[in-house]
Amino acid sequence: MKKLLLTTAILTGMIGYAQHGLDKDIQDIESKVIEWRRDFHQNPELSNREFKTAEKIAKHLESLGMEVQTGVAKTGVVGILKGNNPGKVLALRADIDGLPVTERTDVPFKSTVKSKFRNTDVGVMHACGHDTHIAILMGVAEVLSTKKDMINGTIKFIFQPAEEGAPPGEEGGAELMVKEGVLQNPDVDAIFGLHIGAGQDVNTISYRPGGIMAASQSFEINVKGKQSHGSTPWTSVDPIMASVKIIDGMQTLVSREMQLTKEGVVLSIGKIQSGVRSNIIPESAQIIGTLRTLDYDMQAQINQRMKEMVPAIAKAYRAEATINIAKGYPITYNDPELTAQMLPSLKAAAGDNAVFEIDAITGAEDFSFFQKEVPGLYFFLGGKPVDVPQSEAAPHHTPDFFIDESGMLLGVKTFVQLTFDYLGS
């Protein structure tokens, strides 16, 4: 009976959607959304430094008559839209930061912005599509701000900084937003978020109940040896040799100790640094990597084994080693009940044949911090031109990253559909 009533409520929301002419409002916002996206793309800013981006967002929300909060988690912006009728509180989230990537695409709004990242001169680019997320949510805000008489409850528009990670020594992102109370006053009942997908066909939506993206942890290993001339390695304690064996040993934690039929685990080394000359065996080495897991018990197990294995392997080669594993991001976990409830809404927005379930992804998202506090649904919006093979689509975080803007309108439509159906408007 509960499921029947729920379905009836969702269908009622969909009928109201059509009757009130929202399709036309959404169609009319498309040119603005594309214009906003191009402006943000041309003027990207790095994590915790999104000052001009935040200013533009706040100005737009204020023009819509919303209550606007700025400086949330340093550079975040929150807009609060109160409907004319009582009801639940729903949050919609977009991330706003760019990446230290020099753009190589040949588009008229190409980024030429330069900045510093970890004391290095870098190009800055929206190489993960956060510019599209901002523009889509700004479009949703404009559409819904004119329909307060149709809204039961309150909508919080959360524009979140530093999804890509705060600079060293700083806090930021969703975790800091939660700590500062973004899900309170008024208390949020559920939260929705989307991510554009450069490898997914435009005008499609993908989702997964439960864990859709992995927990992510970075780790740093410091190996101490004894320096010597390269001609007499027997007088050294070689930290490079110890590092190689540590890296090799850690891979066996995945291949020999994890039950991979249960969930995925990925352990990758991103950097090893040691030495200055070909004829000097150095005194120390540093290894930096990342661990991705989709099960917290497996994460705890491999964390413990890394802490045991690293110093033990180093000792076998007469070296010393310490390991520091960061807390990282939790699993991006779609509440199964909420996902089932809103699946008809995703299909209503995109069409039955354009919505599909996917396997879990070993990428990570700090949207997961919101989902640890309240039920959440996170889904992917296609951004790949249909005539480009998936194998040829430039991945996220690369200089050639490209998004087909014709799919952004579906993002607006989907958020609006989810909002009205969830709030029962």
List the one residue out of 191, 207, 210 whose CA is nearest residue 373.
191
Report residue 366: phi and psi, to 5°.
-85, 5
Residues with a known catalytic role: 329, 405
Which neighbouring-strand residues pair with 380? 195, 206
Residue with tokens 């934690």: 253
Report residue 295: phi and psi, to 5°.
-145, 125
Report residue 305: phi and psi, to 5°.
-70, -35
Question: Which ranges of 286-407 does DSSP label H, i.e. alpha helix?
Answer: 296-316, 336-350, 368-371
Instruction: Give how far Cα 129 sits from Cα of 171, 197, 198, Å.
Output: 22, 8, 8
| DSSP letter, residue 237 | B
Task: Give the dihedral sign, CA 373/377/383/389.
Answer: positive
Per-position DSSP letters for 190-232, written without gaps between them: EEEEEEEEEEEETT-EEE-SEEEE-EEEEEEEEEE-B-EETT-
| DSSP letter, residue 129 | S
